[in-house]
Amino acid sequence: MRFFHLSDLHIGKQLHAYNLKENQQAVLSQIADKAREYRPDAILICGDIFDRAVPSGEAYTVFDKFLQELSSITPAIPVLIIAGNHDNAQRLDYASSFLEKHQIYLSVSAPAQQEEHLKKVVLHDMHGEVHFYLLPFLKPGYVRQLFAEGVVHDYESAVREILRREEIDYGKRNVLLSHQFYTNGGQAPERCESEQLVISLGGLENVDASVVEKFDYVALGHIHGAQMVKFPHIRYCGTPLKYSVSEERHKKSITMVTLEEKGAQALIETIPLTPFQDVRKVRGLLREVIEKATDENRHDFLSVTLTDEKEPYHPKEQLEEVYDSILEVRIDNTRTRNRIEEAQGETFCVQPLEMFRSFYQEMQGQSLTAQEEALVEEIVDEWREEM
């Protein structure tokens, strides 16, 4: 059984206000082309399909085109999709019954009633059945009512108990799709700067990898850099594109997994993806940075650090004469380093309302309205009174 493991498409995401539609369309087309070439038995997409809970019409169009490209491959390749923390369950679930007739299987929310269970898709190969369990992003509050009081008290116990109630036969080959923050004995996976912000402000808690280690493969979403957690078969595949400057050194790819007979170690390979525009950091004197421009690299997204002691006149404007997409321009010289050293001695305290403003901006891509800010301030005041 061979399958592609993908996650965190973040369709609709912007990079420093640059629209990534063309970049996302290009990389998704590459994935469809690789599916035609390698003919996997399934394609897994492990959450954060969209970047916002309320995707734009343009984002829907990009995803629809991707599904159409995959559906045009014959014989048909089943596509298994779970919702991530960025996705809106109801919006993502739209037309799911119709899609399932075309072997596109969606799971957008954890079981909420006693009669509900995880969606399971069973596929077959020469060695028999492979059971795919679809576990979308969940919080303890989503599933606490299914268990006795006190059983579910954090993210780890929520995931553990949801899987336990499925009574999974681990004598068979089982694959789990999950979108959570998994760790190895408390050791967190490597994260980029934007993920650090979301996790610290959003309260996403650890789920130890031991909870899922009995699966033959665990296809994870949520972390942007490809890496294993505790064991090679428990794996984040990473994003198909670089979505922040901190991902500059990431090698984006498709994770391709091959399962043989039960008990055999999963074969994990990567298929490189080539970006339409790369994300790079460039450092040096303004003159040196400008001289580095070529026909091949002038279209990349650039984070520029200038080291000129005498700050140049309108550096961004000069850079934009030779480079298409300047994300940011920073100055690193004696004056700026002295200013940083002076600031280190100052105390810094972030207020709860400021933290929530930053979190909301990061998650929704827009600022709080005056009415929303007043409501948050009222909640913070009530919290302070109770402390």
Q: How far apart are CA 381 and CA 102, in angstroms?
A: 51
Phi/psi for 62 (5° steps) reads -60, -45
Cβ pair 30, 273 in contact under 8 A:
yes
Residues of the chain below pLDDT 50: 197-198, 200-204, 387
The DSSP letter of residue 187 is B
Q: State residue 196's pLDDT score.
A: 54
Q: State residue 262's pLDDT score.
A: 96
**Any idea where the domains of the chain sit in the sequence?**
2-272, 279-344, 352-386
Phi/psi for 77 (5° steps) reads -105, 120
Tell me the per-residue pLDDT of 340-356, one tens digit each, with 9 for 90 and over.
777 766 555 567 777 77
CATH 3.90.650.10 fits 2-272, yes or no: no
Which of 205, 245, 208 lies closest to 224, judged by CA?
245
Tell me the per-residue pLDDT of 159-170, one tens digit each, with 9 for 90 and over.
999 999 999 999
- For the entire predicted model, the pTM comes to 0.85
Tell me the per-residue pLDDT of 22-53, one tens digit each, with 9 for 90 and over.
999 999 999 999 999 999 999 999 999 999 99
Residue with tokens 């850079």: 319
Q: How far apart are CA 91 and CA 269, in angstroms?
A: 33
